[in-house]
Structure 1
Amino acid sequence: MENNSTDQFFKSTVLGHPSGLFVLFFTEMWERFSYYGMRALLIMFFTAKVFDGGWEWPESWAYAIFGTYVSLVYLSTLLGGYFADKIIGFRYAVLVGALLMTMGHACMAIETPFFIYSGLTLLVFGSGFFKPNMTSIISEMYKDRPQKKDGAYTIFYMGVNAGAFVGILLCGYLGEQIGWSWGFGVAGIFMFFGLVQFWLAQNIFGNIGLKPKKEDKENVVLEEGDRLNPFTKVELLLIAISAFLGLTWILNDPISKISEGEYNFFGFEVFGQKGEDVAIITALLIFVFLLIIRIPKYVKITRDRMLAVVFFCFVTIFFWAIFEQAPGSLTIFARDYTNRILEGNSAVIFKVVDALLTIVPLGVITWVLIKLFKQTFSKYSWSNITLAFSFVVIWGISIFRLYDKLGGDVAEIDASWFGTLNSLFIITLAPLFSKWWESKHNPNANMKFAIGMVLLGLGMACVAIGSSSIEPGAKSASVSMIWLVLVYLFHTMGELCISPVSLSYISKLVPGRMIAMMFGIYYLAIAIGMKLAGMFGEASTDIAKQDGLSYFFWILTAVAIGLGVLSAIMYPVIKKLMHGVR
């Protein structure tokens, strides 16, 4: 066996996979715990009344800063990925990211404007270093066992959703019921646990992810008939201008609103048009122009497949813009317009379900933890002790929450609790969708996007129907919570049709040397979608005052279903552009 063979990782296994995979599993779980736990509280904290510990901001300010934050999280992955690939390696990028996020959550727990803004900035850069590099380590670990890679990513994806589920459940409870600082602070504590256990167990990855060696650029492998197309100086200048305008606009949006115009990078007019409108339209036009002049330079098959990727990225923008209403307008809908008080038998049933939803997932993850201990305790005892301590704390908070919730004859559901349904439905439904994709009934790429967008639309239609009785301008209501449950069910099914398959299709459609660039465009599409999500949420406040909240949700329904129909109609065109890729 060669020293650089990845077979060495399979000498110590848990559930048939390398122990190192589960070190990544728990590190990613704590990162997702902290990210989703904090995100579930962000808009509620900004808009909560001062006597409830919030800042009592207008909803438009909260949506603006939320949209900018989640957008920058995805844009920063381009920076983090570059540093990892070229300078510090995957492993140190993960450690730098985890440290920055720990500091970010610690800042947010202080709750003053300086520390909240500093915390969000640190979280953006931390996510950028952390997010793209965990999967890169997995990819390297399974380099010689490609047949086991799907199973590895499935296990890893379970860690992602377990972290999101527990994070929203516990941070949401602590933030809403005990104090916002508790929710923000606990998110940081578990990010710190993830950092420490990864640091202490990092030798389990051998040479993977260490500082990269200088690559010989002449060794780029080209497909038959393909050719290199380096960016010209003019193209690089256009990229810089577009990026500068776009980034400045994203930052300026919340800054100008929160400062009420005192600080505004675009506080001028061009031919009677607002400066910010001119800036973002110019940035988008330059980007489209770049695509128009770049794509024809490639050989026909590569060019056609890139056009297919651009179409999928376009649909992706609107998928995330609508899907990410979950921590925004849907959480506000849960807080202000949903009947979250259950009595009698309904309360008893919910308490039993809530207890099971807390104990069973934690029990399963603890069982995996014990299996990991058996394999790695002798070599990585301090990493395991850190992990064990973190689970003792998690169980303690969970039992405290259940004790608080199980008392009395009434059940009050936290507004953030509904966000846990997405992770719960993913864990439940992912195996079924995986079987569907492996069967003879596996839909083509366009139909997966079409089905995903229609399901997204159906989810929004549910909450549109549910909110139809709410009068325009109403500040509160008591709509049945069943509508929110249905929203998250349909949206999760839509996510399973689009999110996991998008990356797969990009990797299949473009040559290996271009994957980094096309993933960059894909993450840019998600970032645009995230910012649009904040803008849609912002629009919801004005639309709700004039035409009612239901009208806003019907608009999103129409956009989603319309794009689903477009994806289906475009099937013959996109099939031709994909040149045989399934």
Structure 2
Amino acid sequence: MFKKHPKALPFLFFSEMWERFGYYLMVGIFTLYLKDVKAGFSMTEAEAADLYGTFIALVFLTPFLGGLLADRYLGYRKSIIAGGLLMAVGYSLMFVHSLATVYTAMTLVIIGNGFFKPNISTLLGNVYSTPQYEKQKDDGYNIFYMGINIGAFICNFISAALYSAYGWGYAFLSAGIGMFIGVIIFIAGTRHYKAFDIKKEVSENDMPMSKIVMLILVPSIIAGVIGWMIPGSLVGSDSTDAFIFACIPVIYFYASLYFKANAEDKRPVAALLAIFAVVILFWAVFKQNGSALNTWADRYTDRTVTGNTEHAFRFFKQAQPLAYKKDSVALYDEQFRLQKENGVVVKEYNYPTYFRNIPEAERPSDGNEVSLWATNLSQSINPGWVIALTPLIVAFFTWMRRRNREPSTATKIAFGLFISGLSALVMVGAVYASNNGAEKASVLWLICSYGVITIGELLLSPMGLSIVSKLSPVRITSLMMGGWFLSTSIGNKLSGVLATLWDTYDHKANYFWLNFILLMSAAILCFLLLRWLNGIMKEKGVK
């Protein structure tokens, strides 16, 4: 796989693999931990989704600053190492069960990711900037993306085994250990990318750091505080208001890059800003894997394992077999009805709700137990598809390239949005097949939905990293990579906002129809922009 690529690729590949191991381990169990009545914080679905959305939004907002500092002052290697160590400590702190510790850990991960994420992607692009490897850049990013998903695939099995046997804390601790391993691997490969770690000269047109602090960072903090303190909430919750307000100065900064760019850079910067805007809706739907789709796996998917399957999943089951209590379903329904009447969304309860949508005739006898595979294992379906499909996608476009028929990177992104929208239709089918959740749905629905959106993801996400590397003016490459992650951040927060609406939809199909409409709207807009985008790429001499 690495044979025809730069020697730096395997080191960056495995560093990113372990970084994503830690991140996706935390994301896979985060909302489950927050909602856990016995060992978590007994949050409601909306409360957990809101905190989850805020976390994954801020994780992808800080690359703006991390990319800027790396471009001008720290360089890529120092930024990546510092970011990795901060995240390792943050994940490890989650071992301590305390809400204050959770917020501290989240803060360290958010800051650490800001230094790590944009700069390792930019460093990879620099490695492929030589004439020898330039034509392999898309393939390099695809392989790099597969490393991300190997980490995302294995982490859920490790976390399921650990939290089932020892508790949530040990699962989070393993994420920290994985991140430390990633930092060690990165340091070991230094000689292969040291020459590509070049800080950019600050030109007279660049905004000084002091001005960025005073005109962007400080206003963002002040705006965020104002958004938080506004009485009531404008967009669902105080944290969402604060996030939206805080983003306004940062969005202004990226818009100013276009207006202040020289004639040569103006059109490429405009193209990137347009792509950043369009892909927000992709992330708004895709990142529901840790919230709404996790809830679908937990409450609406048949997770029972018996016989040989139970033996195979013996390390990845829930901590204890689930005992059926005859009155638990009626009790849940009554509590749910009372809270809905009072305008409150029902919390998780200290008795099993898994049996609620199993027909009474099919429920076990009172006191009997069933074995279930751990909910967070559903988070490995998407990365599993990425690992399986990446070689096929790479081979397909290599075949097309040899025949001079490979579509442009922008065209791949447009088709990625369209195909991703089809995944929402699969979940609409799942809702109808389960009689609107009144019965358990087969896990095959989740597998198929993730399979479809994974094809879209492979056409969009690594291609996004690639197009930023191709079109960015050299002096602000890492900063523009931060812009890609800013769009991801906004989409991530929107995913949390959408997930808070889950309990408000009596017919769950309407929830997934909303996702379909959002993605198809983004796809149509991207297709309308294609001729313009492809023209700009042709001007830059890239495809």
The aligned runs of 1:200-211 (5 Å cut-off) are: 201=188, 204-205=191-192, 207-208=194-195
Equivalent in 369, 373, 389 of residue 413 of structure 1? 373
Change (3 A) 1:444 1:246: farther
The aligned runs of 1:116-135 (5 Å cut-off) are: 116-135=102-121
Percent identity, aligned pairs only? 29
Matched, 1:333 2:296: yes
SS of 1:325's equivalent?
helix
Cα separation, 1, equivalents of 2:147 and 2:374: 24
Match of 2:87 in 1: 101
Q: Is the 2:122–2:481 contact (alpha carbons within 8 Å) kept by the matching residues of 1?
A: no
Match of 2:462 in 1: 500
Instruction: Give the Å deviation of 1:274.
Output: 10
Instruction: Give the Å deviation of 1:175.
Output: 2.6
Equivalent in 260, 275, 283 of residue 312 of structure 1? 275
SS of 1:468's equivalent?
helix
Residue ranges of structure 1 left out of the alignment (5+ in a row): 1-12, 221-227, 253-263, 358-408
Cα separation, 1, equivalents of 2:115 and 2:305: 43
Cα separation, 2, equivalents of 1:442 and 1:466: 35
Match of 1:321 in 2: 284
Match of 2:70 in 1: 84
Match of 2:395 in 1: 435
Instruction: Give the Å deviation of 1:512.
Output: 2.1
Cα separation, 2, equivalents of 1:274 and 1:413: 33
Question: Size of the alignment, in residue pairs?
Answer: 480
Matched, 1:303 2:266: yes
Q: Is the 2:25–2:152 contact (alpha carbons within 8 Å) kept by the matching residues of 1?
A: yes
Instruction: Give the Å deviation of 1:77.
Output: 1.9
The aligned runs of 1:130-141 (5 Å cut-off) are: 130-139=116-125, 141=127
| Amino acid in the other structure paired with 1:550 | A
Q: Is the 1:470–1:549 contact (alpha carbons within 8 Å) kept by the matching residues of 2?
A: no
Residue ranges of structure 2 left out of the alignment (5+ in a row): 317-368
Match of 1:261 in 2: none
Match of 2:229 in 1: 265
Q: Is the 2:220–2:248 contact (alpha carbons within 8 Å) kept by the matching residues of 1?
A: no
Change (3 A) 1:133 1:235: closer
| Amino acid in the other structure paired with 2:486 | L
Matched, 1:537 2:502: no
Change (3 A) 1:169 1:240: same
| Amino acid in the other structure paired with 2:133 | P
What whole-Å deviation, never above 9, does each CA across 1:537-578 have from its counterpart, x for those lacking one? 112222x3xx32221111111211222233223434544555
The aligned runs of 1:519-538 (5 Å cut-off) are: 519-538=481-500
Match of 2:527 in 1: 568
What whole-Å deviation, never above 9, does each CA across 1:293-341 have from its counterpart, x for those lacking one? 7635546664333332222111111100100011111011100111111
Q: Is the 1:304–1:578 contact (alpha carbons within 8 Å) kept by the matching residues of 2?
A: no
Equivalent in 216, 221, 241 of residue 244 of structure 1? 221
Change (3 A) 1:236 1:182: closer
Instruction: Give the Å deviation of 1:83.
Output: 3.5
Instruction: Give the Å deviation of 1:97.
Output: 2.0
Cα separation, 1, equivalents of 2:61 and 2:382: 24
Instruction: Give the Å deviation of 1:73.
Output: 1.3
Instruction: Give the Å deviation of 1:160.
Output: 1.9
SS of 1:341's equivalent?
coil
Cα separation, 2, equivalents of 1:309 and 1:75: 17
Q: Is the 2:92–2:172 contact (alpha carbons within 8 Å) kept by the matching residues of 1?
A: yes
Match of 1:56 in 2: 42
Instruction: Give the Å deviation of 1:436.
Output: 3.5
Change (3 A) 1:123 1:333: same
Cα separation, 2, equivalents of 1:268 and 1:485: 40
The aligned runs of 1:213-252 (5 Å cut-off) are: 217=202, 229-231=205-207, 239-240=216-217, 243-244=220-221, 247-248=224-225
Equivalent in 146, 155, 158 of residue 133 of structure 2? 146
What whole-Å deviation, never above 9, does each CA across 1:152-210 have from its counterpart, x for those lacking one? 544433322211111122113423564211211121222233334545x3564484477
Instruction: Give the Å deviation of 1:453.
Output: 1.8
Match of 2:26 in 1: 38
Q: Is the 2:21–2:178 contact (alpha carbons within 8 Å) kept by the matching residues of 1?
A: yes
- My pick for the range that moved more, 555-564 or 39-48, is 555-564
Cα separation, 1, equivalents of 2:125 and 2:410: 27
TM-score, normalization: structure 2? 0.76
Matched, 1:463 2:422: no
| Amino acid in the other structure paired with 2:397 | W
Cα separation, 2, equivalents of 1:114 and 1:340: 33
SS of 1:75's equivalent?
coil
Matched, 1:423 2:383: yes
| Amino acid in the other structure paired with 1:422 | N
SS of 1:412's equivalent?
coil
Q: Is the 2:141–2:465 contact (alpha carbons within 8 Å) kept by the matching residues of 1?
A: no
SS of 1:111's equivalent?
coil
| Amino acid in the other structure paired with 1:188 | G
Equivalent in 179, 182, 198 of residue 194 of structure 1? 182
Match of 1:181 in 2: 169
Cα separation, 1, equivalents of 2:44 and 2:169: 21
Equivalent in 17, 20, 31 of residue 29 of structure 1? 17
Match of 1:111 in 2: 97
Instruction: Give the Å deviation of 1:41.
Output: 0.4
Cα separation, 2, equivalents of 1:518 and 1:444: 20
Cα separation, 2, equivalents of 1:203 and 1:351: 44
The aligned runs of 1:386-401 (5 Å cut-off) are: none
What whole-Å deviation, never above 9, does each CA across 1:438-458 have from its counterpart, x for those lacking one? 414433455423322222221
Matched, 1:487 2:434: no
TM-score, normalization: structure 1? 0.72
Q: Is the 1:307–1:577 contact (alpha carbons within 8 Å) kept by the matching residues of 2?
A: no
Equivalent in 423, 446, 453 of residue 417 of structure 2? 453
What whole-Å deviation, never above 9, does each CA across 1:125-147 have from its counterpart, x for those lacking one? 22222223334444555555425
Change (3 A) 1:516 1:24: closer
Equivalent in 157, 170, 173 of residue 158 of structure 2? 170
Q: Is the 1:314–1:525 contact (alpha carbons within 8 Å) kept by the matching residues of 2?
A: yes
Cα separation, 2, equivalents of 1:115 and 1:170: 22
Cα separation, 2, equivalents of 1:79 and 1:209: 20
Change (3 A) 1:242 1:503: farther
Instruction: Give the Å deviation of 1:509.
Output: 3.0
Cα separation, 2, equivalents of 1:292 and 1:102: 34
Higher RCO by CA contacts (8 Å cutoff, separation 6 or greater)? 2
Q: Is the 1:46–1:54 contact (alpha carbons within 8 Å) kept by the matching residues of 2?
A: yes
Change (3 A) 1:207 1:193: closer
SS of 1:335's equivalent?
helix
Q: Is the 2:254–2:483 contact (alpha carbons within 8 Å) kept by the matching residues of 1?
A: no
SS of 2:501's equivalent?
helix
Cα separation, 2, equivalents of 1:420 and 1:452: 21
* RMSD of aligned residue pairs (Cα, Å): 3.8
